[in-house]
Structure 1
């Protein structure tokens, strides 16, 4: 544990699922956590509840914001005049690079460090072991503190927003994959073979490695016209099953783009 934090005040904004889990783990590490959430949420044992954001932020050595993305700027502004200039403000929200830059500019205007923290996987099951990518003026400070708490930290020597950009680029695939599976399973249910389909998809994903991913991507250009016809057939099947082929149509559009413009740059394999 980071011994210098033992007698420090740490404010935490947001006691949703991720916020509560991280607050509990930090408390177990011997840290003094004062949390604020405007909702009537359950306060984890050992966590001090502040009645206002200003109360939580006043005198804090570090403020950790684990809010929803659209609440992030408001969370910073709600107590910005009460955050000491010596404090570190760590924003964990999933947000756009421009939003993170706006928050960093606000923090700079009030004289305290800001760090853009991008959670790179889900918090449940990992808590302080959740890998993060970070950037911004407070990145070095954040890295020293949280690596001592066991958090895997990938620090970018870059402005706030760069960590967020990497998170969102990853989200295009990760959330897109979830959407594709959901659409496939809706169709599988309608076709009466959802159990088989779930097992088949699970097996394919479980066996995936970098070689398979490279083959899927690189092979798309070589076999784009054949795959285009296959996906047009898939879209027709979904319509016949009364399932809207949203993701399937997106794949069709993507294949047409590959036919017209080729693949993006792919790292050498």
Structure 2
């Protein structure tokens, strides 16, 4: 028998994953903003209708909507259902959701998407923790998803996601700022090509050199970033990322830089 999977939230990510699961599972979904576009799954008229009889309920909402999504289905699921929250929320919010679910007899798991959904669709890697993580992974992997249960406490998956976000979103913001200033200098294409070359050659050795070099040369690099900030402001940019980088570098002589080995 095909598993029954219900989605709360049918935005870009929810729609893509629900569609991808439809061949291997009986999929239903609810979203108050549903536009009625063509779908290979059943779009329900309410959250309660969507989760009725579901083996796994996947909540893929914005963090601000996560508590409301959970509240909308309390007492509406089967006794054996697993509630998997995939919102990009803080570890504290995930723990609050877990406490609410547990208080109502609903098995909870928290998970996070670790790659852009529109690139990998239903195969987007998911990390999951919490009491229901193992069972959710078993059911969903059988349907084509890539869910890895971490075996840790609720909040651990969220922490990993947000640590990744600091790097990925921070790097994106740095690139935006750099390219805007480069364009003002007539160096936009060169800067773009240089960014591609720099990021392409990144590996464990390069990361170690960057971190070790920061320990040895943080004072000089603060001055370098302050000069970059001045150039950015002259180009009409607020230099937010350059100035923030300088502030972090100023902390290095006193606080150091964590050192870890590259995984084999």
Q: TM-score, normalised by structure 2?
A: 0.94
Partner of 2:164: 170
- Partners of 2:10 and 2:34 within 8 A in 1: no
Partner of 1:105: 99
Structure 2 stretches lacking a partner, 5+ long:
none
- Partners of 1:15 and 1:41 within 8 A in 2: no
Partner of 1:266: 259
Partner of 1:232: 226
Q: CA distance change for structure 1 residues 10 and 149 in 2, over 3 Å: closer, same or farther? A: closer
- Partners of 2:91 and 2:159 within 8 A in 1: yes
Say yes or no: does 1:130 pair with 2:120: no
Q: 1:190 aligns with which of 181, 184, 192?
A: 184
- Work out the CA distance in 1 between the residues paired with 2:52 and 2:145: 26
Partner of 2:49: 55
Partner of 1:120: 114
Say yes or no: does 1:201 pair with 2:182: no
- Work out the CA distance in 2 between the residues paired with 1:42 and 1:220: 53
Partner of 2:32: 38
Q: 2:14 aligns with which of 16, 19, 36?
A: 19
- Work out the CA distance in 2 between the residues paired with 1:209 and 1:237: 30
The alpha-carbon deviation at position 42 of structure 1 amounts to 3.7
- Partners of 2:21 and 2:144 within 8 A in 1: no
The alpha-carbon deviation at position 148 of structure 1 amounts to 2.3
1:45-80 per-position Cα deviation (integer Å, ceiling 9, x unaligned) = 321111111111222222111111111111111121
- Partners of 1:94 and 1:118 within 8 A in 2: yes
- Work out the CA distance in 2 between the residues paired with 1:175 and 1:262: 23
Q: CA distance change for structure 1 residues 159 and 44 in 2, over 3 Å: closer, same or farther? A: farther
- Partners of 2:109 and 2:132 within 8 A in 1: yes
Structure 1 stretches lacking a partner, 5+ long:
none
1:23-64 per-position Cα deviation (integer Å, ceiling 9, x unaligned) = 1110022x1111101013244432111111111122222211
Q: CA distance change for structure 1 residues 19 and 164 in 2, over 3 Å: closer, same or farther? A: same
Q: CA distance change for structure 1 residues 9 and 142 in 2, over 3 Å: closer, same or farther? A: closer
- Partners of 2:56 and 2:136 within 8 A in 1: no
- Partners of 1:128 and 1:149 within 8 A in 2: no
Q: CA distance change for structure 1 residues 220 and 188 in 2, over 3 Å: closer, same or farther? A: same
Partner of 1:151: 145
Partner of 2:4: 9
Q: TM-score, normalised by structure 1?
A: 0.93
